[in-house]
A and B are shown apart, each in its own frame.
Chain A
Amino acid sequence: MTGANTPILQIDDLTVDFLSEGDPVRAVDGVSFHVCPGETLVILGESGSGKSVSTGTVMGLIDCPPGDIVSGSLIFDGTDLSNLDEEGRRGLNGRRIAMIFQDPLAYLNPVYTVGRQIAEVFESHDAGAEGPVRDKVIQLMQRVGIPEPETRIDYYPHQFSGGQRQRVMIAMAIALKPDILIADEPTTALDVSVQAQILELLGDLQRETGMALIMITHDLEVAAVMADRIIVMNGGKVVESGKAEEVFTNPDHAYTRRLMAAVPHGSSGRRHPRPAVEGETLLQVENLSKHYMLNAGLFSPKIEFKAVDDVSFVLRRGETLGIVGESGSGKSSIARMLLRLNDPTSGRALFAGDNIFQLEGKALNGFRRRVQMVFQDPFGSMNPRMNVRAIISEPLVIHRDILPRARWNDRVVELLELVGLKAEHADRHPHQFSGGQRQRIAIARALASDPELIVCDEAVSALDVSIQMQVIELLSELRQRLGLSYLFITHDLPIVRAFADRVLVMQNGRVVEENETEALFASPRHPYTQALLSAVPKPKWTVVEPADSVI
């Protein structure tokens, strides 16, 4: 699969510490890898695995101190990168090694036009003399797929969409046709469909220029679609490396196996098919709409933005209804309205026969007991000053009639055990737990008031892959034991497939398709659903590329 077999970059035994009080913290521990021209190396790992630090060292972006490169050699095309002075480093960065980052909004200077920032690459390497820089910048923007580059060259970063900003970053990176492009989680902040386009662009550019691509990601699907070779990092060490297909199909290391097992594979379908739910209607939403007035610009009148537009659906008791859509599709607005956190513009929502939006006082309090919410970011949804006991017992404090005070403690312990935590965890604070444990605490809190419906808003999206499935399993176990109903909101198709009975697909505030989960995934009817499903990437080794098959 590789274009040439001499590595353009060879890293051996790299160890990087971060100095702090007392013993240094080891971020990268004896890491070795190489990449050849034309090849894509994926560095796969969860947050904190040291994957970004190792490539940051290649670019000289780690400040020393507090960083400290303990050992290792970094040979780029015959040059030892660790011995470079500032000027030598400057000559390589941007010209021969380039980098793009996760969050292009933060990584672009907000006060300069994108054109100027792209042009700086030419100017920094005295490459501007060969022709008018502006024309070159326009050509670059055209190449990376930004429409109307002649006018948009003078726009500022905030005037672009997330995907386009990443395209600008890519334009900047490939301006001088580097030998290596390092992409650090380039698509993590983007929607699935945009993600696919960016990955495709990177693949095309690689084929055109023959550059080596080092791609850092935590996302197994992205890894599968891009990688020729993969190294898997965990706790600063390389735990596995090899050809992409081998790593995926036959993982060696226990960590990799756990990681792979966690993925709800698109092809394998759901694990536990459930009989169709035939319960009574619990929640009936009718013609729900939420409109905002936006200031469009200098002299134009305000325009109406329809965040949620005439949405209706039914949720039966004991059922799990998935709402799927990309960011801005209105799915979270629905959750917030149903919980009475925001008011709707129009429409009704009947919960067990009562219109939620007309509840007041005691009736509203009763409703809040019966419906609970689990939020995307478990850390953010808990007051950092409270310990776990105070957090879980808060519903009991607010609704005094649930339990007498004397029994709160026992109930907290009971709930902790129900979600797979221990009684002694009650006295700790949220920051002392891992992401998955925190989400368990959030679930325990939601269960404290014996609710009938739990609204999960991207409840597992912020978690690492290996944790996501455990939380989903917990939720489905609770569904059986406690007879709960879920409204499960997510952008993640494999997850909704593994968990929901029925799925609602939303786009621009409207419901575009609704069906039983399996039927929807088997034969999507609406073009948007089809596009969403086809945006789920296919592994690279399954795609036959004529150019590569020769080798």
Chain B
Amino acid sequence: MVDILMPSTRTPGNLRQLTIYLRRDKLALCAAFFLLLLIVCVVFGPLLVGEAAGKLGLRQRNLAPFSLEQGFIYILGADTLGRPILARLIVGAQNTLGIAAAAVFFSMFVGGMLGLVAGYSERWYSHVILRLADVVMSFPSLLLALIVLYTLGPSMTNLVIVLAITRMPIFIRTARAEVLELRERMFVSAALAMGASSGRILFRHIAPLVLPTLVTIAAIDFATVILAESSLSFLGLGIQPPDFTWGAMVANGRGYLASAWWIAFWPGLAILLTTLSLNILASWARTVADPLQRWRLQSLRKAPR
């Protein structure tokens, strides 16, 4: 029955193949373009519009969107101090994505390491790691983050650490589960029988196989962390002025809903589009990775009759 269940034996390996699959899913293609644009904005944007984002303009205070009179930079309107929202979105993107990326990377690295140890060793520290992961996991992360940030004071570093810690259990658990499975695999037994040391088995044999899973989770987690950071910033415990993220921009606009809805609306939309694009791409990647689903993205040429 195996040959019935595995219709496609070819795995998509190379970049060219992936681009072809991406072109077949219009939604995923749009998402990829949006994220690409965002990355370009993050890298070059602040150089171009960084000055405009901080420029106060009395005449532009609460300027409504969709007017080109003041120049293209004011297309999305201006905030209560007359700063162009488009420019602020671009500058805010750098902080928003930067914090999320740092938190996810930190979380993946430390969580992955702890998970490797917890999965391979059965000493007391493995139990401690798991119990700590349980504590963090079994309690609403936002509450925990609120308490910690309120105590330590909101700063960029603290924010990254808190976000990383709240997301860490998932990496610890996944890495541990993978190790538990991998260490029963025969190539580990084979290495043991050859006399390989624990370090060699863990880092040469097991870790390279755990890494792809962790990277996948990190990619999916990125969207979650953006949302978490935005919530914290919205509640006023994110990074503090003059720095800002999209979440903080929504919070600033909240007081002017009735008079200038656009101040809170655009940054929230930016968050939504970014996380949505990430999730769409993740969903597309799942389809590509699943041998049972992949054919949906392939150009199926039937044999001539």
Q: How big is chain A's contact interface, by range?
A: 35 or more
* Residues of chain A contacted by B187 (CB below 8 angstroms): 380-383
Task: Report if A68 contacts B (CB, 8 A).
Answer: yes
Instruction: Indicate if the CB atoms of A375 and B194 lie closer than 8 Å.
Output: no
- Is A290's CB within 8 Å of the partner chain B? no
Q: Is the CB of B7 within 8 A of A383?
A: no
Which B8-37 residues sit within 8 Å CB-CB of chain A?
8-10, 17, 20
Assess the A368–B193 pair: CB atoms within 8 A: yes
Query: Cα distance A381–B189 when bound, in Å?
Result: 8
The answer to the question of B298 belonging to the interface, with a C-beta cut-off of 8 Å to chain A, is yes
A-B contact pairs, 15 of them (CB 8 A): A15-B303, A17-B303, A20-B300, A21-B8, A21-B20, A24-B303, A52-B2, A52-B4, A368-B194, A368-B195, A380-B185, A381-B189, A383-B208, A394-B191, A394-B194
Q: Would you call B286 an interface residue if the criterion is a C-beta within 8 Å of the partner chain's C-beta atoms?
A: no
Q: Quick one: which of A47, A68, A339, A383 contacts B303, CB cutoff 8 A?
A: A68
Known: A22-B301, A380-B185. A62 touches B195 (CB 8 A): no
Q: Is A71 an interface residue (CB 8 A)?
A: yes
Given A20-B10, A380-B186: A398 in contact with B195 (beta carbons within 8 A): yes
A375: nearest chain-B partner, CB-CB = B186
Whether A70 touches B9, Cβ cut-off 8 Å, given contacts A369-B195, A372-B193, A394-B196, is no
The answer to whether A62 touches B4, judged by C-beta atoms less than 8 angstroms apart, is: yes
User: Is there contact, CB below 8 Å, between A339 and B193?
Assistant: yes
Residues in B whose Cβ lies below 8 Å from that of A341: 189, 192-193
Most B CB within 10 A of own CB, among A19, A23, A27, A340: A19
Query: What's the minimum C-beta distance from B292 to chain A, rounded to whole angstroms?
Result: 9
Known: A24-B303, A398-B197, A398-B200. 19 other contacts (CB 8 A): A17-B303, A20-B9, A21-B298, A23-B301, A24-B300, A25-B7, A26-B303, A47-B3, A52-B2, A67-B7, A68-B302, A70-B305, A369-B195, A373-B190, A380-B187, A381-B187, A382-B187, A384-B209, A398-B191
Is the beta-carbon distance between A184 and B1 smaller than 8 angstroms? yes
> What's the Cα separation between A498 and B305 when bound, in Å?
49
Contact A48 B209 (CB under 8 A): no
Expressed in whole angstroms, the minimum distance between the Cβ of A332 and any Cβ of chain B is: 11
B266 to A: closest C-beta gap in Å:
41
B299 CB-CB contact with A under 8 Å = yes
Assess whether A66 is in contact with B3, with CB atoms less than 8 Å apart: no
Which residues of chain A in 18-48 are interfacial with respect to chain B, using CB atoms and an 8 Å cutoff? 18-27, 47-48
The 4 A-B pairs of least Cβ separation, nearest first, read A368-B195, A19-B300, A66-B295, A381-B186
Known: A47-B3, A52-B3, A56-B4. A375 touches B299 (CB 8 A): no
Distance between Cα atoms of A102 and B2 in the complex (Å): 10
Q: Mark B131-156, 1 if CB is under 8 A from A, else 0.
A: 00000000000000000000000000
On chain B, the number of residues with a Cβ less than 8 Å from chain A's Cβ atoms is 35
Q: How far is the CA of A61 from the CA of B7 in the complex (A)?
A: 13
A374 closest partner in B (C-beta): B190
Within the complex, the shortest CB–CB distance from B178 to chain A, in Å, comes to 14
Partner of A65, one of B9, B17, B300: B300
Given contact pairs A24-B301, A385-B208, A377 touches B7 in the complex (Cβ within 8 A) = no
A352 within 8 A of B: no
B205: CB under 8 A from chain A? Answer: yes
- The reply to whether B298 and A19 contact each other, CB–CB distance below 8 Å, is yes
Q: Tell me how far the C-beta of B80 lies from the nearest C-beta in chain A, rounded to whole angstroms.
A: 54
1/0 per residue, CB under 8 A from A, across B40-78: the answer is: 000000000000000000000000000000000000000
The answer to whether A19 and B189 have CB atoms under 8 Å apart is no
Nearest-neighbour CB distance to chain B for A219, whole angstroms, equals 16
Q: Which residues of B contact A66 (CB under 8 A)?
A: 7-8, 295, 300
Say whether B200 contacts A375, CB under 8 Å: no
* Shortest beta-carbon distance from A55 to chain B in Å: 10
A364 at the interface (CB under 8 A from B): yes
CA distance A365 to B194 in the complex (A): 8
Q: Taking A24-B303, A184-B1, A381-B187 as contacts, is the C-beta distance between A364 and B194 under 8 angstroms?
A: no
Across-interface contacts of B193 in A (CB, < 8 A) = 339-341, 368, 371-373
Interface residues of B in 192-235 (CB under 8 A from A): 192-197, 200, 205, 208-209
Q: Inside 8 A of A380's CB, which chain B residues have their CB?
A: 185-187
| Residues of chain B from 170 to 190 with CB closer than 8 A to chain A in the complex | 185-187, 189-190
Nearest to B206 among chain A residues (CB) is A383
Evaluate contact between B195 and A21: CB separation under 8 angstroms. Answer: no
A24 touches B190 (CB 8 A): no
* Closest residue on chain B to residue A48 by CB atoms: B3
Distance (whole angstroms) from the CB of B211 to the closest CB of chain A: 10
* Closest chain A CB from B15 CB (angstroms): 14
* Cross-chain contact B209 with A399 (CB below 8 angstroms): no
Contact residues in A for B2 (Cβ distance below 8 Å)? 47, 52
Q: Are A20 and B194 in contact (CB under 8 A)?
A: no
Residues in B with CB closer than 8 Å to A53 are 3-4
The answer on a CB contact under 8 Å between B295 and A19 is: yes
Task: Return the chain B residue nearest A62 by Cβ.
Answer: B4
Kindly provide the distance from the CB of A434 to the nearest chain B CB, expressed in whole angstroms.
14
B193 to chain A, nearest CB (A): 5
C-alpha gap A158/B43 in the complex (Å) = 57
A448, closest chain B residue (CB)? B194
B215–chain A nearest beta-carbon distance, Å: 14
